[in-house]
Structure 1
Amino acid sequence: MTTGVRRRMGVEERRQQLIGVALELFSHRSPDDVSIDEIAAAAGISRPLVYHYFPGKQSLYEAALRRAADELSALFDEPHDGPLGARLLRVMGRFFDFVDEHGPGFSALMRGGPAVGSSTTHAMIDEVRQAAYEQILAHLGVADPSPRLALVVRSWVSLAESTALIWLDGRRVPRAELELQLVHDFAALAAVSAAYDEEMAGVLAGLLSQEPADGPFGDLVGRLVRLGPLMVPGQRLR
């Protein structure tokens, strides 16, 4: 038989509850549109009690972004088993799961939201990008990347971020197509760089040698073959 007496939360437990409530609200609406009163009501406590744990909305916002940034960074952590194309496709699936579920919060994190100019927020954004960069290099088995490889990986991380932000504005392209396209984009960026650099050509050759014909990279090759006539100036598809 229950008594109906509400259990008193400890300090850290209450802080984590408020962060979770704020992140949930920020995931569905712009943080600018969420008030402390709404956060307090959703947490079932008074407005003054929110300020007991956080000095203001900005500090609660940054704490929520900290949790979101940690979750987002972890999405790029993938076992190094099997072909790289399939691994990247799984990563993109988790990435877009997060983006889809936390749209406004993701936008706020990557665009700065109400914390524009905050060194704390900028540092969190840089951490997410750096974690993604390091994870991709680890998948490639490269500890000390050449300047061109570093450029390819960082460009691809930025492309994934900007693609997700654009996709959130209307979701007009099927999500599964974008996930596969971003995996193709990685191979395309590597291929273009390989055309200019022998070291990158070696990286690309090693990467493709482990890819099955029915994998994401094999799919890209098939699509490019069908576009063959367009690759020659003056030619067109019939």
Structure 2
Amino acid sequence: MTGSGTTSYRRLGVAERRAQLIATALRLFAHRVPEDVSLDDVAAAAKVSRPLVYRYFPGGKQQLYEAALRSAADELELCFAEPETGPLTGRLAAVLDRYLAFVDEHDAGFAALLQGGSVAETSRTGAIVDEVRRAAVAQILKHLSVAEPGVRLRTMVRTWITAVEAASLIWLDEGKQPPLGELRDWLVDHFVALLLTTGAGDPQVAAVARAALAREPADGPVGDLARRVLPLLEDAGHLL
């Protein structure tokens, strides 16, 4: 073993080398759309040869992209895993902090993935994205402590997940403004608003909303939202 590259190659096992190539590709795909990343780019960034990349990914860039996407999806799914303790809004804020940090770190890749139209997009990549969405919905419903959610509640949660994705894309398009903390707080407010408006027309959601609000402190996000909304409602007293 005379060269440092050879030494590095021989020290890495199959699983380690594959993981290294996936991590390298994910870093490149994070800030560049798939079309702009070549196998040569991945090989250079990983300090290996192009044939070595093909040895681990004989399907070429598409196979490597899907493996990187799978890795990113696993990380995104973990964003929604949060202990079921404390006020709901605190849990949502923690989830959003992780999710939005991922968006910030993988900006171009996230945008290309969700906006579609990439030549790397296939039914398999679409299925991976849908899996993340389903996992996110399941986690949120778990935090709401509902074993058998009705269609209104499921639709509400799915709508919010879609809104989070859309807001993330708009945030990137707006030059990452407003600051992440403000975006997170607005999305938490959005969830509360959806919960209340949906609960106004659905008994199951109403029960969920009452249970969630009962655990919120007066000086927390929901109390703050109520104090900001009440003046608007007072000005619309003629509606009552």
The TM-score normalised by the length of structure 1 is: 0.92
Q: Displacement, 1:75?
A: 0.3
Q: Give the aligned partner of residue 57 of structure 2.
A: 54
Structure 1 stretch 86-95 or stretch 196-205: which is displaced more? 196-205
Please give the secondary structure, in 1, of the residue aligned with 2:119: helix
For 1:141, give the aligned amino acid. Answer: S
- What is the match of residue 94 of structure 1? 98
2:39 to 36, 53, 71: 36
Cα offsets for 1:164-222 (capped at 9, x unmatched): 01111111322211101111111111111112122222221111111101112222111
Counterpart Cα distance in 1 of 2:35 and 2:231: 48
1:66, distance to aligned residue in structure 2 (A) = 0.2
After TM superposition, the structure 1 = structure 2 runs for residues 88-237 of structure 1, keeping only pairs within 5 Å, are: 88-112=92-116, 113-116=118-121, 118-169=122-173, 170-232=175-237
The 1-side partners of 2:221 and 2:119 are apart by 39
In structure 1, what residue type is equivalent to 2:32?
Answer: R
Q: CA RMSD in A?
A: 1.8
1:6: which partner in 2? 7
Alignment CA distance shift 1:218-1:74 (3 Å) = same
Q: Displacement, 1:230?
A: 4.5
2: distance between equivalents of 1:163 and 1:36? Answer: 32
- C-alpha distance after superposition, 1:115-147 (max 9, x if no partner): 22x121111011100110000011011111011
Q: Which runs of 5+ in 2 are unaligned?
A: none
Deviation for aligned residue 1:229:
3.9
Unpaired segments ≥5 residues, structure 1: none
State the identity as a percent. Answer: 53
Aligned-partner Cα distance in 2 for 1:91–1:191? 20
Deviates more, 1:10-19 or 1:133-142: 10-19
- Deviation for aligned residue 1:149: 0.7
The reply on whether 1:45 has 2:64 as its aligned counterpart is: no
Distance, in Å, in 2 between the alignment partners of 1:67 and 1:49 is 20
SS for the counterpart of 1:225 is: helix
Distance, in Å, in 1 between the alignment partners of 2:236 and 2:186 is: 19
